[in-house]
A and B are shown apart, each in its own frame.
Chain A
Amino acid sequence: MKSWLGFTLLVWALAAGSCAPNREEIVPVSSRELPAHLADDESEVRQVVSDFERYLSGREVFYRDAALETYLRKLTVPLASSLDWPESMKLRVKILRDPTVNAVSLMNGHLYVHTGILARLDSEAELAFVLAHELAHIDHRDTLYQMINLRRKTVTFKVLDLLFTPVASLVGAGGLSEMTLALIYASSVTGYGREAEAGADLFAIEKISRLGYPAQAALRFFEVLMAEKERYKEGHEIFFLSSHPSNRRRKAELTEWIRAHPGQRSSARRGRYLRATYAVRLENAKLNLDLGRFYHALDDVAKLLRQNPEDPAAYYVRAEIYRNLPANWEKVREEVSEERWKRLEALGQAGRAERWREKALRDYRKSLQLEPGYAPPYRGLGVLFLELENFPEAKRYFNKYLEIDPAARDRRSVLRHLKDMEAMMQGGKA
């Protein structure tokens, strides 16, 4: 056991030695020209980036909202004002239709913000911190250095594998050696690395403070994301955190920075942010619902309803979530934290289903109360009563749905429900 621990530590040491980047070597885009020996690597990365963007475009993965894109652009331009990038790098911000909490930057100056991170943030200041952080990754050429590190690490691990695995095979431990190396490798190639993240954090907090946002927004951002771990199972969510190491340390470093730089009173511009992102946050709730991330979706809607308690669409989405929960409780178990699940488990399966259906019914009705001509809740009520085998009520709501929206895209499924119900009712009579 001791010798295995020694082996693991030796591998770590070798790997770390072979790949730790020297921050002094890093050449920001906006300061100096790239050394000739890195030029080929950079053009390779640019090619990968270009291929990747073409792939994304082909998949239509973008959330399109001209007003929100303008808002994001207006927010990003001042953050990038001090960066002297070549003309070939065009600053662009796009929104990826993805409910996970993440943001991505590419070396060509393009930033991608997930709908999921927009749903979790609370203010413009927090978003500015995220955007500035990603801009720093571009300016510091972190993707390029990450690729160079990845190559070094991979070659090191493969050479170590060639050396150690045959030796370990002598004592019948070849498989164990391979597995240990694979685990260490996998954990060492994730993210840009601690120093790159710290550098990006520092750039971001300085930048937002200079632009009049409260620096504390950076801390709140980390607090919001870390709180996710209490609500959801680790690894299920929180990409921004999982690919960014030592978050507590990062938060502590930023706290130190704030102490050393007492700022003036400033606004996080919470209201403006929440108004600008309302539609995308509703869309994110629907995405979470579609992907079976029910409690993430509930959290999204709860925030929307705190902001606008009179929104029929938000009530409708919440009703849909509750209606889908009873048939998907196993997914809920995978999604929420153990503590949260224990509370739900205490209700029992039937108790949970009853409670969820009651809530669905209440929310559909609330939605219709707020906007009687809104068609989707009628369809939802139809399905809910169908599930409860109350066919006359289900039929009434389905017909009302088709009456309000005769050209509904999903009319085929409604007609199928009606047809099936009719058959069941006939069967019952027979």
Chain B
Amino acid sequence: MNPYSQLRRWFALAACLAVLSGCGTIRKHPNFDQRSAEIAVVSVMPPDVLLQRIVFKGDNEVMYRESESAKKILSDALRGAFAGRGYEAKPFEITKALRKKYPEVSTDWSKLTDKYNERVKDVQTQFVAKMKYADFKLSLGADVNPFADHASADVLVFMVAAGYINSAGENTKNFFKSILVGVGSLGSYVPIYNSFGGAMHVTVVDGDNGDLLWHNFSPPTLAYNLTDEKALRKMVQATLKGFPDRKAAAVSPGAVEVREPKIEVDRVKISPPLPARPR
């Protein structure tokens, strides 16, 4: 909730992940390969982005305006990345018309964002503690249904990103510190400080049951300036590298009988068996 604590969390995460940068970062649901074959329509949810300017005096500034413009760029970049893989990708927008039809949409979206951020923390815990793929079974539950229904999408794409950029004063301090430490260590160690950095998580979520199907975070070895459009687009490409192209068999929702809900179970179209994964 607090933007400052959120940023601290992200930078701590980035530091942790830098240590583990040699490992693969993509996480997939155990049934991802099977389920990805059913994906045709992707809805890109509004990214959750927060940027901060680190200043020498310590009262760091949250860059609200830059965060807003980064959100738009990231949403567009995500849409483009999925479209480039053959999916029908569209951004989810909370419009006036949608608010009229679904008055709680903003509140429900806010709750879902909080829940997603919590699941991202779970992913980090699993990543650091377990380092294995088989147990990647996390879910946002049925709360995703109204969003997937309104978007007529098979999956929803969530993103959370955070970044910082140093002020001139902070950069000057870092520059002198590098020189002084270099002199102090007689040239054996000269620290280099980035003047900006950022991290992002992207998750593809099943619109039916909220399962996290595919998850990745930005390569921790690279420093990104999240106020730079090119860097943002590059970061999205790098993070989505490894997400498969659309399978030819996938069909748009609406063509599948389950999209036209009927209570009688016997008439619901049957797909290959899946293990029980409630909520």
Contact = CB atoms under 8 A, between A and B. Distances in A.
A424 to B, nearest CB: 5
Interface stretch (B215-223, B229-237, B268-276): B268-276
With most chain B CB atoms within 10 A of its CB, the pick from A154, A395, A410 is A410
B59 A150 contact: yes
A413 B208 contact: yes
Given A97-B110, A389-B276, A154 B265 contact: no
Contact of A412 (B148, B185, B274): B148
A399 B262 CA distance: 10
Contacts of B106: 60
Contacts of A412: 142, 145, 148-149, 207-208, 261
Contact of A153 (B58, B125, B141): B58
B258 A415 contact: yes
B173 A419 contact: no
With most chain A CB atoms within 10 A of its CB, the pick from B59, B62, B109, B207 is B59
Given A162-B173, A166-B184, A419 B268 contact: yes
Interface string A38-73: 000000100010011011000111001000000000
Interface stretch (B18-26, B81-89, B155-163, B174-182): B174-182
Contact of A150 (B58, B111, B122, B270): B58
B268 A422 contact: yes
Interface string A255-273: 0000000000000000000
A147 interface: yes
B107 interface: yes
B58 A96 contact: no
A423 B271 CA distance: 6
Interface string B1-34: 1010000000000000000000000000000000
B270 A423 contact: yes
Contacts of A54: 64
With most chain B CB atoms within 10 A of its CB, the pick from A44, A162, A169, A424 is A169
A324 B274 CA distance: 20
Interface in A405-430: 406, 409-424, 426-427
Contact of A165 (B59, B109, B177): B177
B177 A415 contact: no
B243 interface: no
A126 interface: no
A403 interface: yes
Given A166-B184, A324-B279, A387-B276, A418 B110 contact: no
A423 B184 contact: no
Contact of B111 (A100, A290, A402): A290
Q: How large is the interface on B (under 10, 10 to 19, 20 to 34, 35 or more residues)?
A: 35 or more
Nearest to A414: B142
Contact of A399 (B111, B263, B278): B263
B52 to A, nearest CB: 12
B47 interface: no
A60 B273 contact: no
Contact of B270 (A153, A154, A387, A419): A419
A168 B181 CA distance: 9
A402 B273 CA distance: 22
B132 interface: no
A170 interface: yes
Interface string B124-152: 01000000000000000111011011000
A16 to B, nearest CB: 16
Contacts of A383: 278-279
A420 B110 contact: no
A206 interface: no
A174 interface: yes
Given A61-B1, A155-B56, A167-B184, A97 B146 contact: no
Contact of A427 (B56, B109, B208, B273): B273
B209 interface: yes
A402 B59 contact: no
A174 B184 contact: yes
Contacts of A162: 173, 176-177, 180
A23 B268 CA distance: 71
Judged by DSSP, the binding face of A is: helix
Contact of A419 (B145, B210, B269): B269
Contact of B145 (A52, A147, A411): A411
B209 A413 contact: yes
Contact of B278 (A97, A403, A417, A426): A417
Contacts of B186: 170
A386 interface: yes
A167 B180 CA distance: 9
A167 B176 CA distance: 14
A161 B177 contact: yes
A97 B118 contact: no
B57 interface: yes
A131 to B, nearest CB: 20
Interface in B55-111: 56-59, 61-62, 64, 106-107, 109-111
A52 B4 CA distance: 11
With most chain B CB atoms within 10 A of its CB, the pick from A48, A60, A153, A287 is A60
A166 B177 CA distance: 8
Nearest to B115: A290
A389 B277 CA distance: 11
B183 interface: yes
Given A158-B173, A165-B177, A151 B58 contact: yes
B118 A402 contact: no
A51 B1 contact: no
B189 A169 contact: yes
B228 interface: no
B114 interface: yes
17 contacts: A59-B110, A97-B111, A151-B57, A161-B177, A162-B176, A166-B185, A168-B184, A169-B181, A169-B184, A334-B125, A409-B145, A412-B145, A412-B208, A415-B268, A417-B209, A418-B265, A426-B270
Given A150-B59, A151-B57, A165-B177, 15 more contacts: A44-B59, A52-B3, A60-B107, A64-B107, A155-B56, A155-B57, A161-B177, A174-B181, A290-B111, A290-B114, A291-B118, A324-B279, A383-B278, A410-B142, A421-B276
7 tightest Cβ-Cβ pairs between the two chains A and B? A154-B58, A166-B184, A410-B142, A169-B184, A166-B180, A413-B142, A416-B208
